[in-house]
Structure 1
Amino acid sequence: MIDDIDRQILNYLQTEARITNAELARRVGMVPSGVLERVKKLEERGLLRGYEARVDARKLGYGLVAFTFVKSDDPVGGVASAQVLAAIPEVQEVHHIAGEDCYLIKIRTSDVEALGKLLREKIGVIPSIRSTRTTIVMETLKETATVPIPGTSEGQGDAI
């Protein structure tokens, strides 16, 4: 269980990961040492898994986003193909899914030609991969890594 202070801390850190401990303490109405202890406990419990910078992929030449459904020969519950897919740098996400396909992956490349080459030369050569279906993103209207925190104005519910 987390309390209201922990919820506030999680919300602030999701939107402003570079916030100073002193500023975070001021916003939640605590002393910095108390906030630091709470942050450490949230990390230890796995609620805070890390901190990262959000890089503009388009400005680095990765303007194409695609989602690919992947069928594999993995046994039920097996994720060997997923581990190989996850090791490909252009693959940003790998999701083991229910349904006809086994995985849904998110890919970023420079253009359609680079996507085709990736599908042929990196994904298509994986022995356990049986087929792929790819959808190219025309425009991204929302993309976020933030999670609604239950019990706050941004989230719903009572407790984690």
Structure 2
Amino acid sequence: MDLLDEFDISIIKELEKDGRMAFSAIATNLKISNTMVHQRISRLLEQNIITGIKPVLNEKKMGYDWGAFTGITLTKDHDSDKVIEALKSIPEVTECYFITGSFTLYIKLIAKDHDDMRKLLYEKIDTIPGIAKTDSIIELGCAFKRNLTL
């Protein structure tokens, strides 16, 4: 049995067009009941297939012109939970991943300018106990970002 059926996929596609769309509008567009849309979205949220419906911010319009991807080497990998909690407290760290290879963690961060990026890296991230080393790549712009195509 597939996890998503044609109705789930159609509902998700409608939400991708406009996450604020009323359930009744989705129901009308798909010619199904409002109750069915509500039940399906509730189930997709409960199953964490949809992890939330929230705005996508344009960081550049908010004054954050710089982005970087930073690999983090830990002193001891078992310290990762403490390091991740410290990273969560830094608003400019927008993503954090466990990875294989030379680093333990890989983060995406944003800054207002090069001075802000330097302070963020040297004064906030490099000072977190358990971080041995960081290695950053400056982002020059996002060519595209999307969800999985259904």
Fold shared per TM-score above 0.5: yes
Instruction: Give the superposition deviation at 1:76.
Output: 5.1
Structure 1 range deviating more: 38-47 or 93-102: 38-47
2:141 and 2:91 map into 1 onto residues whose CA distance is: 22
Q: What residue in structure 1 maps to residue 12 of structure 2?
A: 10
Instruction: Give the superposition deviation at 1:77.
Output: 8.7
Number of residues of Structure 1 aligned to a counterpart in Structure 2: 148
Instruction: Give the superposition deviation at 1:121.
Output: 0.7
2:76 and 2:23 map into 1 onto residues whose CA distance is: 46
The one-letter amino acid paired with 2:149 is P
Q: What stretches of structure 1 of length at least 5 have no aligned partner?
A: 150-160
2:76 and 2:21 map into 1 onto residues whose CA distance is: 43
Aligned ranges for residues 6-155 of structure 1 at < 5 Å? 6-75=8-77, 78-144=80-146, 146-149=147-150
1:39 and 1:136 map into 2 onto residues whose CA distance is: 38
The one-letter amino acid paired with 2:69 is F
Q: What stretches of structure 2 of length at least 5 have no aligned partner?
A: none
- Mark the CA change 1:59 to 1:101 in structure 2 (over 3 Å): closer, same or farther: same
With normalisation by structure 1, the TM-score equals 0.85
Contact 1:24 1:35 in 2 (8 A): yes
1:61 and 1:51 map into 2 onto residues whose CA distance is: 24
Contact 1:66 1:107 in 2 (8 A): yes
How much identity, in percent, do the aligned residues show? Answer: 26
Q: What residue in structure 2 maps to residue 154 of structure 1?
A: none
| Higher helix proportion (structure 1 or 2) | 2
Instruction: Give the superposition deviation at 1:82.
Output: 2.0
The one-letter amino acid paired with 1:14 is E
